[in-house]
């Protein structure tokens, strides 16, 4: 089976599970040439055979810049609400999205006695066929 179809099925199941507040919450990690990893929690906004899509920030927040006081953020939000009331909200200049086309996808399933099920799907390039291999846990 195509791992993207399998992933979509599992995500739908997670969406129907009330205890999972943010079923599309995921950790995005990158690593620099110096070997230092960097991670950010983002929301998965789309998934299909072309890959996984996620975006940045919003109008009201200068993401990750120091905030003097909470009221500054709330004031800015209220101002923007007034400014764009009844209008189409344009895309903020600092806002963009990414699509990751995976070459490797692994599903890890918990099983008793640490005999977990690991299925790894690999492909040579986007659009190429997937191959599934089982891995030792
Ligand atoms: C559940 C959840 C979903 C989030 N979704 C996004 C998102 O889709 N895009 C984004 O840019 N930030 C998102 N954030 C906020 C970032 O994770 C947060 O601003 C982060 O701490 C920024 O850290 P950094 O500057 O070190 O990357 C989300 C946070 C949480 C907890």
Q: Indicate the DSSP class of residue 114.
A: G
Say what the pTM is. Answer: 0.89
Question: For position 52, which CATH number holds?
Answer: 2.30.110.10
Residues 101 and 46 occupy one common structural domain = yes
For ligand 1, say whether the CB of 40 is within 6 Å of any of its atoms: yes
Mean pLDDT of 68-92: 94
Residues 15 and 63 occupy one common structural domain = no
Residues 81 and 17 occupy one common structural domain = no
Residues 41 and 28 occupy one common structural domain = yes
H or E, element range at 118: strand 117-122
What pLDDT, on a 0 to 100 scale, did the predictor assign at position 60? 86
Query: Looking at the 3D structure of the chain, how many domains does it have?
Result: 2
What pLDDT, on a 0 to 100 scale, did the predictor assign at position 78? 95
Q: How does pLDDT run across 20-73, given as a tens digit for each residue?
A: 999 999 999 999 999 999 999 999 999 998 999 999 877 888 899 999 999 999
Spatial neighbors of 37 by CB under 8 A, at least 6 apart, are: 29, 30, 31
* Ligand 1 center from residue 136 Cα (angstroms): 33
* Ligand 1 center from residue 119 Cα (angstroms): 29
Residues 33 and 50 occupy one common structural domain = yes
Tokens representing 15 are 């969406």
Residues 53 and 63 occupy one common structural domain = no
Contact assessment for residue 36 and residue 21, using Cβ atoms and an 8 Å cutoff: no
* Ligand 1 center from residue 41 Cα (angstroms): 5
Mean pLDDT of 88-104: 91
Tell me which residue range forms the domain holding 70: 59-90
Closest ligand 1 atom to residue 43 Cα is: 8
């Amino acid at each position: 089976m195509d791992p993207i179809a399998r992933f979509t099925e599992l995500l739908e199941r997670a969406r129907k599970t009330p205890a999972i507040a943010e079923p599309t919450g995921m950790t995005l990690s990158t690593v620099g040439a110096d070997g230092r990893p960097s991670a950010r929690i983002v929301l998965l906004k789309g998934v299909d055979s072309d890959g996984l899509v996620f975006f940045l920030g919003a109008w009201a927040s200068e993401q990750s810049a120091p905030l003097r006081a909470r009221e500054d953020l709330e004031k800015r939000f209220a101002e923007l609400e007034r400014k764009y009331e009844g209008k189409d909200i344009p895309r903020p200049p600092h806002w963009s999205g990414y699509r990751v086309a995976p070459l490797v996808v692994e599903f890890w399933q918990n099983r008793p006695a640490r005999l977990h099920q690991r299925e790894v799907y690999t492909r040579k390039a986007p659009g190429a066929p997937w191959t599934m291999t089982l891995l030792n846990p």
